Amino acid sequence: MIVTTMDEVINWMRKSSIWYLLFGTACCAIELMQTGGPRTDLDRIGSVFRSTPRQADLMIVAGTVTYKMAERIALLYHQMAEPKYVLSMGSCANCGGLFQNSYSVLKGVDKVIPVDVYVPGCPPRPEALMEGVLKIQEIMMKENYLKNHGERDNEF
């Protein structure tokens, strides 16, 4: 017999099936695919990609974000169901990175959507991205969904 709280069970179920949005904006997306590949199998923690924002829990912003794309990213983010998480992958999504002096590049995706975990690197290795997803799991385990009626604790 196992005794636990309802929140704990919900959190455990949620963190064991993080479905991320199939979405990449630049070369980091190649590394994102590699993370889903057999060597750093993201599937083993229950993480699979979904190609619609309605079914996704996590948005991995993989790559350079231009202003033209930023408006689409904000739209996709608002289409995702609560509770939702954002992982910013690579220097470009974190702060503009190599292209921060460009006229068309957004200097960090946190200018348009709230970000939970930043993964540094150019691009980050699959192991680093895996670590980022594990950090998302840690955040998920700290939530109290029942008490907050599905809203998140650390709302931005």
Partner 1 sequence: MSFRIYNILADRFGKDTLLYFDDTLNPYIQVAPELIQTLCIFMRYNPALKFSFLFSLCGVDYPEKNQITMVYHLFSMKQKMLWVLKTSVRREHPELESIESVWKTAGWFEREIYDLLGVKFTNHSNMKRLLLPDGWVGHPLRKDYEEPLFYHDMETSRHRVS
Which residue in the set 106, 115, 130, 140 belongs to the binding site for partner 1 (CB under 8 A)? 106
**Alpha-carbon span 42 to 18, nearest angstrom:** 10
**Alpha-carbon span 86 to 60, nearest angstrom:** 6
Q: How far is CA 131 from the centre of its chain?
A: 12
Which residue in the set 14, 50, 107, 135 belongs to the binding site for partner 1 (CB under 8 A)? 107
Q: How many CA atoms lie within 13 A of 128 on its CB side?
A: 18
Q: How far is the CB of 24 from partner 1 (least distance, A)?
A: 19
**Alpha-carbon span 60 to 87, nearest angstrom:** 5
Taking the least distance from each CB to partner 1, the nearer of 12 and 67 is: 67
User: How far is the CA of 153 from the CAs of 84, 117, 137, 149, in angstroms?
Assistant: 12, 15, 15, 10
Q: How far is the CB of 91 from partner 1 (least distance, A)?
A: 12
68 is a site residue for partner 1 (CB under 8 A): yes
- Strand duo 117-119 + 19-21: pairing: unpaired
Q: How far is the CB of 47 from partner 1 (least distance, A)?
A: 30
Task: Find where tokens 């619609």 sit.
Answer: 52
Tell me which stretch binds partner 1 (CB under 8 A): 1-9, 13-21, 108-116, 124-132.
108-116
Q: How far is the CB of 95 from partner 1 (least distance, A)?
A: 6
Taking the least distance from each CB to partner 1, the nearer of 22 and 112 is: 112
Tell me which stretch binds partner 1 (CB under 8 A): 36-44, 66-74, 128-136, 147-155.
66-74
Q: How many CA atoms lie within 13 A of 134 on its CB side?
A: 10
Which residues of the chain form contacts with partner 1 (CB under 8 A)? Answer: 67-68, 70-71, 95-96, 100, 103-104, 106-108, 111-112
